Amino acid sequence: MQHSVSIRDLSLNFGNVKVLQHLDLDIAQGEFIVLLGPSGCGKSTLLNCIAGLLDVSEGQIFIGGKNVTWEEPKDRGIGMVFQSYALYPQMTVERNLSFGLRVAGMKKDEIDKRVQRASEILQIGPLLQRKPVELSGGQRQRVAIGRALVRDVDVFLFDEPLSNLDAKLRSDLRVEIKRLHQRLKNTMIYVTHDQIEALTLADRIAIMKNGVIQQLSDPHTIYNKPVNLYVAGFIGSPS
């Protein structure tokens, strides 16, 4: 079977520090994978390697069966949503959504269609003429998701997209992200240090410690049959 994303013997060092160590991971088409673990365990580093924002020290990354280890981020068929929104402050929401497509030389009709569709899915239609400063945190994060959505990619990468939001918004947007996945059926790789988020969103959870995956299982198995004390302790202590 061809996987959506495959990681082969991936290592990354910052100087002498081994941040990722010989990771292997196969993700099926349409799967929602959560990378879970405490701060500093290497979740963002792994995501940034997949996105092409960091060069790996060793190993390979395949997306849609293609070896993308040395491809530019824009050529990898991925869309990324960060913890901080990274919107262009001087542009309207509509411009924020369409900018990347314009730069890529897409026709206006197609751009309009995609912006329409994203704003309908994320219910941000009424916000299109506003600037980011006029939006709430939750609305900004929706626009950030919209920017990945308009690119019509097969793989979404999320790096703690909800951790800057208050508890109520966090649970609302969590439900929306789940719905988004059910509707789009694309592959999602989602980084969090929040056990509840992981247990409610994931098809499978990869629990990381010091740049190594400790267990890769569905939420039920992780919860009921942790492979070691580390996994049991981490799952058992809500953040």
List residues near ligand ADP by CB under 6 A.
14, 19, 37, 39-45
> Angle at the Cα of 234 (from 230 to 239), degrees rounded to 5?
160
Binding at 40: pick from ligand ADP, Mg ion, none (beta carbon under 5-8 Å per type): ligand ADP
Between 93 and 165, name the residue whose CB sits nearer to Mg ion. 165
- Shortest distance in whole angstroms from residue 201 CB to ligand ADP: 17
- Closer residue to Mg ion in complex, CB, 3/209: 209
Residues that bind Mg ion (CB under 5 A): 44
Shortest distance in whole angstroms from residue 207 CB to Mg ion: 15
The angle formed by the CA atoms of residues 185, 54 and 81, to the nearest 5 degrees, is: 35
- Closest approach, Cβ 151 to ligand ADP, in A, equals 23
Which H/E stretch holds residue 45?
A: helix 43-51
End-to-end, the C-alpha distance of the chain in Å comes to 37
Residue 111's binding partner out of Mg ion, ligand ADP, none, with CB under 5 to 8 Å set by partner kind: none
Say what the alpha-carbon torsion angle 72, 78, 82, 87 is, to the nearest 10 degrees.
Answer: 80
Cα(35)–Cα(78) distance, integer angstroms = 17
Q: Which does 42 bind (CB under 5 to 8 A by kind): Mg ion, ligand ADP, none?
A: ligand ADP
